[in-house]
Structure 1
Amino acid sequence: MLRYVTVSKNSLHDITLVALIHDIKFNLIKLLQ
């Protein structure tokens, strides 16, 4: 159970990180145009 929670926390963190990077990329593209 604890292991499952840790894994889901880690994957949630990864998803947040990916979303953040995607946001930054999108904003940079908008700025460059």
Structure 2
Amino acid sequence: MHHFTTCIICHFSKTFIDIYYWMINYSSIGN
């Protein structure tokens, strides 16, 4: 169960980083 929770947190962090970088690229293109 602990490993399962860790996977969810890891997946969420990965998704958050992807969105974060996408926003940076989107902002730089807008400017």
Global fold match (TM > 0.5)? yes
In the alignment, what sits opposite 1:13?
A: 11
TM-score, length of structure 1 as denominator length: 0.91
CA root-mean-square deviation: 0.3
Instruction: Work out the percentage of aligned pairs sharing the same amino acid.
Output: 10
The whole-number CA distance in structure 1 between the counterparts of 2:21 and 2:15 is 10
> Any stretches of 5+ residues in structure 2 without a counterpart?
none
In the alignment, what sits opposite 1:4?
A: 2
TM-score, length of structure 2 as denominator length: 0.96
Aligned residues: 31
| 1:27 aligns to 2:25 (yes or no) | yes
